[in-house]
Structure 1
Amino acid sequence: MCSAPLPMDYDNPACRSILQRIRFTHPFVYGLTNYVAATLSANVLLAVGAAPAIGAAPGWASSFGAHAGAMWVNAAGLINCTAQDMIVAVTAANAHHVPWVLDPVAMGAGASEYDTIIHDLAMRGPAVIRGNASEVMALAGGAATARGVETTASITQALPLAAKLAQARGVIVAISGPEDHILAPDGQHIIIPGGHPMLTAVTGMGCALGGLVAAALAVTPSGNDRLLAVAAAHALYARAAEMAAPVAQGTASFATGFVDALSRLQNVTGEAASG
């Protein structure tokens, strides 16, 4: 049974601590993601101080999967790499105790062969599964409601299945939406308020969040601290969106301002850096 959700935002000391550790240690974060989202994902990680590498060049999946601080696998990366690349990467990560994030992009949108690959990846031990409500519902065995990469389900609909998925697989499940919900296998539940609707109007924002979650995992020991790390990544995202939206002239300037905001978040005070 899930506990009552606890709110967490960027002003929580745990969030500040995660950002401080990322900026201080510059963790190597490896990603297999799609070419649409790769640039934004890399820039998001660079903005917080992580060191990203993205793609499946020869030897990268086995070597980088084994030696990264953490890794994320975006299922839509199958448009530019193979399922075998992903399996090699997660196998190497598991063998070397590297935590990894699975983003089941477009799960449940009607492509059964694609969905089968995501189900297989989900069985291979991700530390975190992060997606929208439709994707999480479909992966958990519920109704397939996605329309392409977009959700048609609500957070309320997804939460019961997400809790069961977290418990059954021993994995943290994060659902993105108007409010983000982070669920642990033991029933702990954190809710992240805030953010901004413009996040849904820029391609790759959800994909890049998977990379930021991986960066938070890279600086966090195993165990209960990982739940706070995942929540912290979402809280950072929400605060950067809140900073970028008021000065944006449209979606393109919002995307640029969002990356700028991430780079300006201070690791201790939470105020914009000077200069």
Structure 2
Amino acid sequence: MITSYEVRQKNPLIHCITNIVVANFQANGLLAMGASPIMADAPEEASDIARIANAVVLNIGTLNQRTVDAMVLAGKTANQLNIPVVFDPVGAGASPYRLTTTRRLLKEINMSVIRCNAGELAAIAGVDWQAKGVDAGAGQADVTAMAKHVASTFNTIVAVTGEKDIVTDGLQTAAILGGDARLTQITGAGCLLSAVVAAFYCTRPSMEAVISAMTFYKRVGEQAVQGTFGDIVSHLMTALFELSQEDEHERNTHNSRF
């Protein structure tokens, strides 16, 4: 497993083209765990920023044509330079515009990881699902089968969050338990996870990195919900910082024994 110690040690620069609801939250979360965010969504600089980044995160939470153009430019530049791209198709099935944009981005950009919920996954897969805006909603389809299909179709790693997270590359599949459902009541918790995945993935690009990121975030969630509900956001930031510090301490303690 890859630890958050490795992320903190690398201090990767994560280029986020994200939504206006979560930009500050996402940036602070990356900083807390030892990564460096840059929130650049202007088409005029999207390619230039992507060139210097260690990973690019594309999040369609609050879509407009300007940011879509920036996503295409940043994604294509990242592909040319073998820089990882993590795609968060927020509410992909909520409107025709979101779905069309999702399909365009998946067609024009090679995504290293698609990080989504079950409703967004179903929209990408073209499977009937009762999504609720940007929430996962409910449906009868097999989430694991959908994830494997989408991973194989787009030659990517798919990470689906839920009571049980699923990570697959189309061939291998892992299930991750833990976390706390109360985290879903915090705006941007999933969006931040996509950035966390990017930070782990660019540290050591692999399915193992995605599994490690998802497992780490489950631990963060469990620690964040201790105490009153109104304090979850601050507790989440504290958990990101403290758990990454604990991983560093454990790594140093292990090394000192040899």
C-alpha change, 1:183 and 1:58, in structure 2 (3 Å) is closer
User: Do 2:15 and 2:56's aligned partners in 1 also have CA atoms closer than 8 Å?
Assistant: yes
Match of 1:212 among 186, 196, 210: 196
Residue number in structure 1 paired with 2:239: 261
The structure, 1 or 2, with the larger RCO (C-alpha pairs under 8 Å, 6+ apart) is 1
- Partner of 1:22, secondary structure, is helix
1:157 is aligned to 2:146: no
Among 105, 108, 133, the residue aligned to 1:121: 105
Alpha carbon RMSD of aligned pairs, Å? 1.9
Q: Partner residue of 2:254?
A: none
Write the distance in 1 (CA, Å) between the matches of 2:82 and 2:140.
Answer: 31
Does the 8 A contact of 1:198 with 1:245 survive in 2? yes
SS in 1 for 2:225: helix
Q: Secondary structure at the match of 2:136?
A: coil
Q: Is the 8 A contact 1:133 1:151 kept in 2?
A: yes
1:116 counterpart SS class: helix
Per-residue deviation, 1:269? 5.0
Could you say which residue in structure 1 is the equivalent of 2:89?
104
TM-score (norm. length: structure 2): 0.90
CA distances 1:37-83 after superposition (whole Å, capped 9, x unpaired):
11111111111100001131363311111221011100114258431
Over 3 Å counting, the alpha-carbon distance change for 1:121 and 1:149 in structure 2 is same
C-alpha distance 254-242 of structure 1, shift in aligned 2 (>3 A): same
For the pair 1:193 / 2:173, whether they are aligned, the reply is no
Question: Following the alignment from structure 1 to structure 2, what is the Cα–Cα distance between the partners of residues 193 and 81?
Answer: 38
Which of 199, 207, 225 does residue 245 from structure 1 map onto? 225
Structure 2 CA distance for partners of 1:155 and 1:245, relative to 1, 3 Å: farther
Partner of 1:78, secondary structure, is coil
Instruction: Give 1:255 shift.
Output: 1.3
Which residue in the other structure is 2:69 paired with? Answer: 84
1:72 paired with 2:57, answer: yes
- Aligned with 2:61: secondary structure? helix
* Structure 1 residue 32: Cα displacement: 0.6
1: CA distance between counterparts of 2:140 and 2:7? 29
TM superposition shift of 1:241 = 1.1
Contact 2:60/2:89, CA 8 A, preserved across alignment: yes
5+ long unaligned stretches in structure 1: 1-13
Alignment pair present for 1:171 and 2:156: yes
Distance 1:80-1:49 versus aligned 2 partners, 3 A rule: farther
Alpha-carbon distance between aligned partners in 2 of 1:37 and 1:80, rounded to the nearest angstrom: 19
Q: Which residue of 2 aligns with 1:183?
A: 168
SS at match of 1:267: helix
| Residue 60 of structure 1 pairs with residue 45 of structure 2 | yes
CA distance in 1, matches of 2:99, 2:48: 27
Offset at residue 267 of structure 1 (A): 2.2
What is the alpha-carbon distance in structure 2 between the residues aligned to residue 135 and residue 164 of structure 1?
14
Report which of the two has the higher share of helix.
2
CA contact (8 A) 2:179 2:221 kept: yes
Q: Residue deviations 1:163-185, cap 9 Å, x none? A: 11111211100100112110113
Deviation digits for residues 86-138 of structure 1 (CA, Å, limit 9, x no counterpart): 111101111111111111111112x1122111111112210011100010011
Q: Structure 1's 39 and 178: CA in aligned 2 closer, same or farther, altered over 3 A?
A: same
One-letter amino acid of the counterpart of residue 228, structure 2: Q
Q: Secondary structure at the residue paired with 2:131?
A: coil
Q: Distance in 2 between matches of 1:40 and 1:28?
A: 16
Q: Letter of the aligned partner of 1:117 in structure 2? A: T
Amino acid at match of 1:262: L
Alignment of 1:126-145 (within 5 A): 126-145=111-130
Number of residue equivalences: 248
Please give the secondary structure, in 2, of the residue aligned with 1:152. Answer: strand
Question: Offset of 1:156 from its aligned partner?
Answer: 6.2
